[in-house]
């Protein structure tokens, strides 16, 4: 079954409260928080997300959605998940001040995740903090890690390339994590302080020009909307399949509040309808999304 | 000699013709169509489920952003995004009526005729416990008028009452000068219960870009920030009408639940707290018997309206 655009209610989700194991700076304004939640860690797949909230507080009030960055083991057993976040608003500012032992409430796994259809070349394209779902995805496709319980049909790729754009070199997070999984990392920065001086879409264009068989490649993309729109356009022109993971604001994460809607093509008279990103996404085929 | 207090307090509640197993319900618009919550909540434990408000015609809803967090609160302007009554009856109702929890369908009409038409159709559907008339959605033109005008409120409630056999709950807005007047007209028109309050009209602004944060500019505030307003409304209305009340507004802890019961609500609805903790209703159901025992009452019903207010000397 193609998981894309099918309502994925939280039918595998669990809710738990857990003390943060660690909350580390890994790049400028970028943290990695480690949360013990073994049951959730066993179930989650790349591209799915969790809702995370600071316990016993009414300000910030709501939980926020975060993609799975990675799962971690303790004494050989799956023990929990890592979430990488950029300090930007009230929640992430409060989160960044939390030390080990801080109680958080977490529920997930939520959403559909990226498709696992095998492909020759998986091209992951990220802008800024949109990079977080791709470590797990790349590791899975290269056969380094497995996800899901029962284990999902594992996606495979002969090559996995990661095109990663950031404002400046100090904001590039987790490069070694990606390289350690055997992922080919290509970097672009707005100020030229690392890698290509320019947009990440330039890297994608170069990559596609040198591609032998475009029909055997697939793009997975996450980042700011203008960047995703550009990637979707490039993919369409080149005839490459492309999946976008949308980052819409959410209040509940489980499909009950109707906050996180995006315009998705349908057979409605208008040609589109608002769809909930949390249960019908966050991953959509790029041709379905009106950006 | 007084009767001994039973070990397990009786949680059952009667709201006019409506019988509920316990006073903890989940509010419209905060629980989807229940399916979404099935993995996280034991739905058959709930005192009642009120699915997201339905309208006669499908509505795409308002443009994003649809919610904004404010200090201990949530501002929303979803715009009654729903697929209309036909899709509800075809796709959601068959599931809802299997849940063994009381199902109360929330409807919003653009006219009294629409309210009546929808109520008539739902009155013919098996397995429903009641209707909740959403005469108070602040995000839809038309809707709020019925909750802001005593005469129109009386008209729509009495007409629905005459044409639909289901018990009627009327959900009121706090965005009026005197909520007691509206409650009285709902009561006089034959409402079985009155739920209050819907959200409080509010706004959020990004001054740097000189723009409102909500796509619809203004929206309704909910969450802990509005609890004092809701308590005040329940208190005032409970002193003025005999119709049973359902308290809503910022309820997230067992203390909140108990405060609303004491203030005069026979039952409560959990709203925004379903977002901040989807399992909150289960926790409150676990805690309610303990709190009632601490209050020294043998049943939830006997706590209702027990607020003691000293008259000024």
With cut-offs at 50, 70 and 90, classify the pLDDT of residue B140.
Answer: low
pLDDT of residue B50: 98
What average pLDDT does the structure give for chain A?
94
Whether residue B150 contacts residue B190, with contact meaning beta carbons closer than 8 Å, is answered with: no
Three-state DSSP at B302 gives helix
Please give the residue of chain A at the shortest CA–CA distance from B224: A58
In angstroms, the separation between the Cα of residue A143 and the nearest Cα of chain B is 31
Q: How do residues A156-190 score in pLDDT, each as one tens digit?
A: 999 999 999 999 999 999 999 999 999 999 999 99
With cut-offs at 50, 70 and 90, classify the pLDDT of residue B312.
Answer: confident
With cut-offs at 50, 70 and 90, classify the pLDDT of residue B144.
Answer: low
pLDDT of residue A5: 42
pLDDT of residue A4: 41
Interface contact flag, B37 A13, Cβ < 8 Å: no
Contacts of residue A58 in chain B, CB cutoff 8 Å? 72, 223-224, 252
User: What mean pLDDT do residues B74-90 have?
Assistant: 96
Contacts of residue A39 in chain B, CB cutoff 8 Å? none
Three-state DSSP at B202 gives strand
pLDDT of residue A212: 73
pLDDT of residue B132: 98
pLDDT tops 70 at residue A44 = yes
Interface contact flag, B69 A273, Cβ < 8 Å: no
Cross-chain CB nearest to A61 (options B35, B223, B274): B223
Interface contact flag, A273 B40, Cβ < 8 Å: no
Contacts of residue A53 in chain B, CB cutoff 8 Å? 276-277
pLDDT of residue A166: 98
Interface contact flag, A11 B38, Cβ < 8 Å: yes
φ/ψ of A260, rounded to 5, equals: -90, 30
Interface contact flag, A257 B67, Cβ < 8 Å: yes
Structure tokens at B259: 């405060």
Contacts of A31 (CB under 8 A, 6+ apart): A23, A24, A25, A84, A85, A87, A95, A96
- Distance of alpha carbon B186 from alpha carbon B179, whole angstroms: 11
Interface contact flag, A90 B275, Cβ < 8 Å: no
Interface contact flag, A279 B36, Cβ < 8 Å: yes
Q: How do residues B213-223 score in pLDDT, each as one tens digit?
A: 999 999 999 99
Q: CA dihedral defined by A117, A122, A128, A131, rounded to 10 degrees?
A: 50
pTM (2 d.p.): 0.95
Domain-wise residue ranges, chain A: 10-110, 121-288
Please give the residue of chain B at the shortest CA–CA distance from A105: B277
Contacts of residue A252 in chain B, CB cutoff 8 Å? 30, 274-275, 278
User: What mean pLDDT do residues B131-148 have?
Assistant: 77
Please give the residue of chain A at the shortest CA–CA distance from B73: A61
Interface contact flag, A259 B29, Cβ < 8 Å: no
Give the rounded percent of residues in chain A with a pLDDT score beyond 70. Answer: 98
Whether residue A40 contacts residue A14, with contact meaning beta carbons closer than 8 Å, is answered with: yes
Instruction: Supply the ipTM of this predicted assembly.
Output: 0.93
Kindly give the residue spans of alpha helices, DSSP state H, lying in B124-246. Answer: 145-148, 150-163, 179-188, 227-240
Total Cβ atoms within 10 A of residue B53 = 24
In angstroms, the separation between the Cα of residue A106 and the nearest Cα of chain B is 9
Please give the residue of chain B at the shortest CA–CA distance from A269: B60
- The CATH code that applies to domain A10-110 is 2.40.30.10
Architecture of domain A121-288: 3-Layer(aba) Sandwich (3.40)
Whether cis (ω within 30° of 0) applies to the bond prior to B197 is yes
In angstroms, the separation between the Cα of residue B104 and the nearest Cα of chain A is 16
φ/ψ of B186, rounded to 5, equals: -65, -40
Interface of B with A (CB under 8 A): 29-32, 35-40, 52, 60-61, 64-67, 69, 71-74, 76, 78, 81, 223-224, 252, 272, 274-279
pLDDT of residue A274: 95
User: What mean pLDDT do residues B81-87 have?
Assistant: 96
pLDDT of residue A167: 98
In angstroms, the separation between the Cα of residue A280 and the nearest Cα of chain B is 12
User: What mean pLDDT do residues A213-217 have?
Assistant: 88
pLDDT tops 60 at residue A3 = no
User: What mean pLDDT do residues A208-227 have?
Assistant: 92
Asked whether the domain spanning A121-288 has the same topology as the one spanning A10-110, the reply is: no
Three-state DSSP at B251 gives coil
pLDDT of residue A1: 29
- Distance of alpha carbon B37 from alpha carbon B81, whole angstroms: 18
Whether residue B152 contacts residue B185, with contact meaning beta carbons closer than 8 Å, is answered with: no
pLDDT of residue B2: 60
Contacts of B236 (CB under 8 A, 6+ apart): B179, B180
Catalytic residue positions of B?
137
pLDDT of residue B145: 74
Three-state DSSP at B158 gives helix
User: What mean pLDDT do residues B167-181 have?
Assistant: 97
Give the rounded percent of residues in chain B with a pLDDT score beyond 90. Answer: 91
Q: Which residue segments constitute the domains of chain B, with CATH numbers given?
A: 13-303 (3.20.20.70)
Whether residue A249 lies within 8 A of chain B, CB to CB, comes out as yes
Structure tokens at A223: 């980042």
Contacts of residue B84 in chain A, CB cutoff 8 Å? none
Q: How do residues B27-66 score in pLDDT, each as one tens digit?
A: 999 999 999 999 999 999 999 999 999 999 999 999 999 9
Whether residue A2 lies within 8 A of chain B, CB to CB, comes out as no
Three-class secondary structure assignment of B224-239: HHHHHHHHHHHHHHHH
Whether residue A63 lies within 8 A of chain B, CB to CB, comes out as yes
φ/ψ of B308, rounded to 5, equals: -105, 120
pLDDT tops 80 at residue B4 = no
Structure tokens at B274: 């379903």
Q: How far is CA A250 from CA A2, A66, A247, B20, B69, in A?
A: 24, 10, 9, 32, 10
Please give the residue of chain A at the shortest CA–CA distance from B77: A259
With cut-offs at 50, 70 and 90, classify the pLDDT of residue B146.
Answer: confident
The alpha-carbon radius of gyration of chain A (Å, integer) is 18
A75: burial class by Cβ within 10 Å (0-12, 13-18, 19+)? exposed
pLDDT of residue A11: 76
pLDDT tops 60 at residue B229 = yes
- Distance of alpha carbon A200 from alpha carbon A165, whole angstroms: 5
Three-state DSSP at B62 gives coil
The continuous run of DSSP H or E covering B86 comes out as: helix B84-87
CB–CB contacts below 8 A, A to B = 103
- Distance of alpha carbon B13 from alpha carbon A19, whole angstroms: 39
With cut-offs at 50, 70 and 90, classify the pLDDT of residue B142.
Answer: low
Q: How do residues A63-80 score in pLDDT, each as one tens digit?
A: 999 999 999 999 999 999
Total Cβ atoms within 10 A of residue A61 = 26
Q: How do residues A78-122 score in pLDDT, each as one tens digit?
A: 999 999 999 999 999 999 999 999 999 999 999 999 999 999 999
Strand pairing category for A49-54 and A103-110: antiparallel
Three-state DSSP at B16 gives coil
Three-class secondary structure assignment of chain A: CCCCCCCCCCCCCEEEEEECCEEEEEECCEEEEEEECHHHHHHCCCCCEEEEEECCCCCCCCCEEEECCEEEEECCEEEEEEEEEECCCHHHHHHHCCCCCCEEEEEEEECCCCCCCCEEEEEEEEEHHHHCCHHHHHHHHCCCCCCCCCCCCCCCEEEEEEEEEECCHHHCCCHHHHHHCCCEEEEEECCCCCCEECCHHHHHHHHHHCCCCHHHEEEEEECCHHHHHHHHHHHHHHCCEEEEECCCCCCCCCCCCCCCEEEEECCCCCCEEEEEHHHHCCEEEHHHECC
Whether residue A92 lies within 8 A of chain B, CB to CB, comes out as no
The continuous run of DSSP H or E covering B281 comes out as: helix B280-295
pLDDT tops 60 at residue B176 = yes
């Amino acid at each position: 079954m193609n998981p894309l655009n099918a309502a994925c209610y939280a039918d595998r989700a669990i809710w738990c409260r857990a003390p943060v194991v660690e909350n580390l700076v890994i790049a400028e304004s970028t943290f990695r928080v480690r949360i013990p939640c073994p049951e959730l860690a066993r179930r989650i797949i790349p591209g799915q997300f969790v809702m995370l909230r600071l316990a016993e507080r009414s300000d910030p009030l709501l939980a926020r959605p975060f993609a799975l960055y990675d799962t971690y083991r303790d004494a050989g057993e799956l023990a929990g998940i890592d979430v990488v976040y950029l300090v930007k608003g009230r929640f992430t500012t409060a989160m960044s001040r939390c030390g080990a032992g801080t109680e958080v409430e977490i529920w997930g796994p939520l959403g559909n995740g990226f498709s696992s259809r095998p492909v020759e070349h998986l091209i992951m394209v990220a802008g800024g903090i949109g990079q977080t779902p791709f470590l797990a995805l790349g590791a899975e496709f290269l056969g380094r890690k497995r996800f899901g319980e029962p284990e999902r049909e594992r996606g495979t790729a002969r090559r996995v390339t990661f095109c990663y754009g950031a404002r400046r070199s100090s904001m590039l997070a987790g490069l070694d994590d990606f390289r350690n999984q055997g992922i080919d990392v290509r970097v672009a920065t707005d100020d030229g302080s690392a890698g290509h001086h320019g947009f990440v879409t330039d890297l994608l264009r170069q990559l596609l020009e040198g591609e032998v068989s475009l029909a055997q490649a697939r793009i997975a993309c996450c980042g700011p909307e203008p960047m995703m729109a550009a990637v979707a356009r490039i993919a369409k022109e080149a005839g490459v399949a492309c999946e976008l993971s949308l980052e819409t604001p959410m209040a509940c994460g489980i499909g009950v509040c109707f906050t996180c809607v995006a315009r998705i093509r349908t057979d409605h008279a208008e040609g589109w309808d608002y769809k909930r990103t949390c249960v019908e996404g966050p991953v959509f085929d790029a041709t379905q999304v009106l950006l | 000699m007084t009767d001994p207090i039973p070990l397990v307090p009786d949680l059952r509640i009667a709201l006019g013709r409506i019988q509920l197993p316990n006073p903890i319900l989940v509010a419209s618009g905060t629980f989807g169509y229940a399916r979404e919550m099935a993995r996280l909540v034991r739905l058959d434990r709930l005192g009642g489920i009120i699915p997201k408000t339905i309208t006669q015609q499908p509505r795409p809803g308002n443009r994003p952003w649809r919610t904004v967090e404010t200090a201990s609160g949530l501002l929303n302007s979803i715009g009654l995004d729903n697929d209309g009554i036909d899709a509800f009856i075809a796709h959601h109702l068959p599931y809802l009526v299997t849940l063994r929890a009381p199902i109360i369908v929330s409807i919003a009409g653009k006219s009294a005729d629409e309210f009546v038409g929808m109520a008539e159709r739902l009155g013919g559907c098996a397995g429903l416990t009641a209707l909740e008339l959403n005469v108070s959605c602040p995000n839809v033109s038309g809707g709020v008028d019925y909750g802001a005008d005593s005469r129109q409120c009386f008209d729509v409630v009495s007409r629905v009452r005459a044409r639909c056999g289901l018990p009627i709950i009327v959900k009121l807005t706090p965005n009026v000068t005197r909520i007691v007047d509206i409650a009285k007209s709902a009561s006089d028109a034959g409402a079985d219960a009155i739920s209050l309050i819907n959200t409080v009209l509010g706004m959020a602004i990004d001054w740097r870009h000189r723009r409102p944060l909500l796509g619809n500019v203004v929206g309704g505030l909910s969450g802990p920030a509005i609890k004092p307003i809701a308590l005040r409304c329940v208190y005032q209305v409970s002193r003025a009408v005999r119709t049973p009340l359902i308290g809503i507004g910022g309820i997230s802890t067992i203390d909140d639940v108990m405060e609303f019961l004491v203030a005069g609500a026979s039952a409560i609805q959990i709203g925004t707290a379903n977002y901040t903790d989807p399992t909150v209703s289960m926790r409150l159901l676990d805690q309610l018997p303990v709190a009632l025992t601490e209050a020294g009452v043998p049943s939830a019903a006997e706590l209702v309206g027990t607020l003691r207010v000293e008259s000024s000397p």
